[in-house]
């Protein structure tokens, strides 16, 4: 989680690309306003209190100037738009104005934060719901980091715009327009002098702002490169130590750290130059205005209070104009983020994935019988349309049969199971369940009829019980324990101090390979599927773990149609049917004994490579598992 802390998020936001502001991009950004509609009353209330707060801020220089006039002119002061007030009356008015401004600012800030957080929670939910309902082809085209960025960084940018930028835009616009109006009312001559100094400040802010952003991005890029070295080193720490390359990694990180330092020095140098120049330009402009105003004051053209009022309003205007560049940059980033999120929300989802909690249509059997047929199936992955993966594959499994899929790596075995789960649909031909085209079943219902135990089990980072109950959410503790017992997992689970409440860690790292497999088998048992897929479920286990897992798998396969992918042929000798897959085609089908007798068959050749002898020539009574 450390990679997603607040500092990391801020760096990611700084590096977001800026999109050009066009009519279409603004329209896309405004389309997210529908997420504010449920909170519109609070949003309008926040705008009203923001207007009152900004108005109180604009009244402050008027009252402050009047206070000075009242001090030098006994009897009070006459203010534009307000009238005559005494010294004490002006002081009381100032106190009331500041208090009201603080109260309204508190209310507007709270309102915008509540509206923003509520709207963005809804947006995050919809974006995640959309992402998780995407077809597998979508995930094949995108990287996980990119998709995570949509839910975190891009929406965080929208959060900053809705909670910070939008209120600031309203506030600074009011300060700019109100300040210029009050300056013009105070003194036309001083207004012209002040406006003559602003272009210098604006030009300086734009010039230095561009360079500071460029150097900041360079610093962030170098820092990201240095952090990548740290991440890679810790992920491969065993290799680092095995090759005694600690010193090499330290030197590599030191060189990257030096580049970060050099980039940071450049940024600091330009930032220091900008601060010095801005101080000279800002205070130089104020000196010019004060000098010219003092001359007017000396000649009696304006009062001391009017000069004070003018300087304060000038500060307001300068501050608002200084904020405009940063706000415009944030709007550009927000437009880009909104476009990327909108791309996700426009993507088509898998069929049948409607609103959360939607029920499946009626007229479906409680459970499949388990008859599965491939009829002349052909398939190419959408990301590699030029490479045929399956060619005219036909295979039938009767209810309760165990079908083994064997063959060289890359032959298409795992693709066949992916088509069973309808991660993809065949390019040609069809797959039937109980004599009915798979595409005619509701997708979620069909997947509820199947379970998979993969070679590399990925557990979620919760407890053992939570990982087992994932097979059938809502199952009670007794059902979970029964499933674990059938999976030969109950003994080792109870041996842990916390039992079923033991946290398995990230990806199940706290459990051994055999333990993870048995938890996955318990999950599949709890699901009670009609069709079972075993993808190299015992391939990377030691002998003792394999025996425990194999016993659990035998229990799991009883009464279910099972598709078993295996490279170790000793594990599929007892399969009802073995389909040999090669180059996307099924080249042989039969039992172990039948295929072993084919002198030129691929299965016999694979047996010879694994066992060092042909399957048919092995002495009687020798178990192939022992030879393996």
Q: Is 10 helix (H, G, I), strand (E, B) or coil?
A: helix
Read off the DSSP letter of residue 475: -
Q: Please provide the DSSP assignment of 13-62 as one string.
A: HHTPPPPP--HHHHHHHHGGGGGTGGGHHHHHHHHHHHHHHHHHHHHHHH
Q: Is 363 helix (H, G, I), strand (E, B) or coil?
A: coil
Contacts for 417 with CB less than 8 Å, ≥ 6 apart? 405, 452, 533, 535, 563, 565
Q: Is the pLDDT of residue 537 over 80?
A: no
Stronger pLDDT, 47 or 157, i.e. the higher one: 47
Percent residues over pLDDT 70 in the chain? 77
Position 129 confidence tier, pLDDT thresholds 50, 70, 90: confident
Q: Is the pLDDT of residue 374 over 90?
A: yes
CATH no., domain 2-187+302-346: 1.20.1560.10
- Alpha-carbon gap, residue 603 to 406, rounded angstroms: 8
Position 6 confidence tier, pLDDT thresholds 50, 70, 90: very low
Q: Is the pLDDT of residue 395 over 80?
A: yes
pLDDT at 628: 31
Please check whether the domain covering 455-528 is classified as CATH 2.40.50.140.
no
Segment 526-533 shows an average pLDDT of 88
Segment 393-405 shows an average pLDDT of 91
The answer to whether 484 and 522 have CB atoms below 8 angstroms apart is: yes
Stronger pLDDT, 125 or 363, i.e. the higher one: 125
Sheet (strand 402-406) strand order: 450-453, 531-535, 561-565, 402-406, 577-582, 585-590
Q: Which range, of 321-335, 361-375, 581-595, averages the lowest pLDDT?
A: 321-335
The pLDDT tens digits for 192-212 are 777 776 676 667 666 766 776
Query: In this structure, are strands 577-582 and 450-453 parallel, antiparallel, or unpaired?
Result: unpaired
- Alpha-carbon gap, residue 221 to 286, rounded angstroms: 39
Segment 339-353 shows an average pLDDT of 71
The pLDDT tens digits for 16-33 are 444 445 566 566 666 677
Q: Is the pLDDT of residue 142 over 70?
A: no
Q: Which of 11-25, 58-72, 511-525, 577-591 has the highest mean pLDDT?
A: 577-591
Q: Which range, of 296-305, 335-344, 397-406, 560-569, averages the lowest pLDDT?
A: 335-344
The answer to whether 344 and 124 have CB atoms below 8 angstroms apart is: no
Contacts for 327 with CB less than 8 Å, ≥ 6 apart? 165, 168, 169, 172
Residue 481 to residues 515, 516, 550: CA-CA distances in angstroms? 15, 16, 19
Stronger pLDDT, 92 or 206, i.e. the higher one: 92
pLDDT at 563: 92
Please check whether the domain covering 365-449+530-628 is classified as CATH 3.40.50.300.
yes
pLDDT at 378: 93
Residue 361: both structure tokens together:
């249509």
Residue 460 to residues 33, 217, 457, 519: CA-CA distances in angstroms? 35, 36, 10, 11
Q: Is 487 helix (H, G, I), strand (E, B) or coil?
A: coil
The pLDDT tens digits for 445-498 are 888 888 888 877 778 878 888 888 888 888 888 998 988 888 888 888 888 888
Contacts for 93 with CB less than 8 Å, ≥ 6 apart? 63, 85
Q: Is 534 helix (H, G, I), strand (E, B) or coil?
A: strand
The pLDDT tens digits for 108-127 are 888 888 888 888 888 888 87
Q: Is the pLDDT of residue 11 over 50?
A: no
- Alpha-carbon gap, residue 252 to 226, rounded angstroms: 9
Contacts for 473 with CB less than 8 Å, ≥ 6 apart? none
Residue 618 to residues 494, 569, 610, 625, 627: CA-CA distances in angstroms? 43, 14, 13, 12, 10
Q: Is the pLDDT of residue 619 over 60?
A: no
Domain residue limits, the chain: 2-187+302-346, 365-449+530-628, 455-528
Question: Where are the strands (E) in 54-152, listed by range?
Answer: 77-79, 83-85
Residue 283: both structure tokens together:
């205070």
2-187+302-346 and 365-449+530-628, same CATH topology: no
Contacts for 291 with CB less than 8 Å, ≥ 6 apart? none
- Cα first-last separation, the chain: 43
Q: Is the pLDDT of residue 358 over 70?
A: no
The answer to whether 153 and 3 have CB atoms below 8 angstroms apart is: no
Q: Is the pLDDT of residue 252 over 80?
A: yes
- Report the mean per-residue pLDDT for the chain: 77
Position 226 confidence tier, pLDDT thresholds 50, 70, 90: confident
**The residue to which tokens 């989680």 are assigned:** 1
């Amino acid at each position: 989680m450390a990679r997603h802390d607040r500092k990391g998020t801020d760096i990611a936001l700084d590096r977001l690309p800026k999109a050009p502001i066009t009519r279409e991009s603004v329209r896309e950004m405004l389309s997210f306003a529908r997420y504010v509609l449920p909170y519109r009353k609070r949003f309008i209330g926040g705008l009203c209190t923001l207007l009152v707060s900004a108005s109180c801020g604009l009244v402050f220089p008027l009252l402050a100037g009047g206070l000075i006039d009242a001090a030098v002119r006994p009897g009070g002061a006459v203010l534009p738009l307000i009238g005559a007030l005494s010294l004490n009356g002006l002081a009381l008015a100032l106190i009331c104005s500041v208090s009201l401004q603080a109260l309204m600012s508190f209310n507007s800030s709270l309102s915008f934060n509540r509206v923003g957080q509520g709207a963005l929670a809804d947006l995050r939910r919809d974006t995640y719901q959309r992402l998780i309902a995407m077809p597998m082809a979508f995930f094949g085209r995108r990287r996980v980091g990119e998709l995570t960025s949509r839910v975190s960084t891009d929406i965080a940018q929208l959060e900053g715009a809705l909670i910070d930028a939008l209120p600031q835009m309203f506030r600074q616009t009011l300060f700019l327009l109100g300040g210029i109006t009050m300056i013009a009312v105070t003194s036309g001559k001083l207004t012209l002098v002040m406006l003559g100094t602003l272009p210098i400040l604006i030009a300086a802010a734009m010039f230095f702002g561009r360079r500071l952003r460029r150097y900041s991005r360079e610093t962030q890029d170098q820092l990201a490169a240095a952090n990548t070295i740290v991440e890679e080193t810790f992920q491969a720490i065993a290799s680092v130590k095995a090759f005694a390359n600690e010193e090499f990694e330290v030197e590599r990180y030191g060189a990257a750290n030096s580049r970060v330092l050099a980039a940071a020095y450049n940024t600091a140098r330009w930032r220091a130059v900008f601060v010095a120049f801005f101080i000279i330009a800002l205070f130089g402009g104020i000196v010019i205005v004060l000098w010219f105003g003092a001359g007017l004051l000396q000649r009696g053209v304006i009062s001391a209070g009017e000069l004070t009022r003018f300087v304060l309003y000038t500060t307001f205007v300068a501050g608002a104009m200084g904020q405009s560049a940063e706000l415009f940059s944030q709007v550009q980033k927000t437009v880009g983020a909104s476009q990327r999120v909108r791309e996700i929300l426009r993507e088509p989802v898998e069929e049948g994935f409607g609103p959360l909690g939607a029920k499946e249509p009626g007229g479906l059997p409680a459970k499949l019988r388990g008859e599965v047929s491939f009829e002349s199936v052909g398939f190419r992955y959408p990301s590699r349309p030029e490479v045929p993966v399956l060619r005219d594959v036909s295979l039938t499994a009767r209810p309760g049969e165990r079908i083994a899929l064997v063959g060289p790596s890359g032959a298409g075995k795992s693709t066949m199971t992916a088509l069973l789960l309808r991660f993809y649909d065949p390019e040609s031909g069809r797959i039937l369940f109980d004599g009915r085209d798979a595409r005619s079943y509701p997708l979620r219902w069909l997947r509820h009829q199947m379970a998979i135990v993969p070679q590399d089990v990925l557990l979620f980072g919760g407890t053992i019980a939570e990982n087992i109950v994932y097979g059938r959410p809502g199952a009670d503790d007794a059902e979970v324990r029964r499933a674990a017992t059938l999976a030969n997992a109950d003994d080792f689970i109870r041996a842990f101090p916390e039992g079923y409440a033991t946290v398995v860690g990230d990806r199940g790292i706290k459990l051994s390979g055999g333990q993870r497999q048995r938890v996955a088998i318990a999950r599949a048992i709890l699901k009670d599927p009609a069709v079972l897929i075993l993808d190299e479920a015992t391939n990377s286990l030691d002998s003792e773990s394999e025996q425990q897992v194999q016993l659990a798998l035998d229990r799991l396969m009883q009464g279910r149609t099972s598709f078993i992918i295996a490279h170790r042929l000793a594990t599929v000798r007892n399969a009802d049917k073995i389909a040999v897959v090669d180059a996307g085609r099924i080249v042989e089908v039969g039992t172990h004994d039948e295929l072993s007798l084919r002198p030129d068959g691929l299965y016999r050749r694979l047996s010879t490579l694994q066992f060092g002898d042909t399957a048919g020539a092995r002495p009687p009574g020798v178990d192939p598992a022992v030879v393996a």
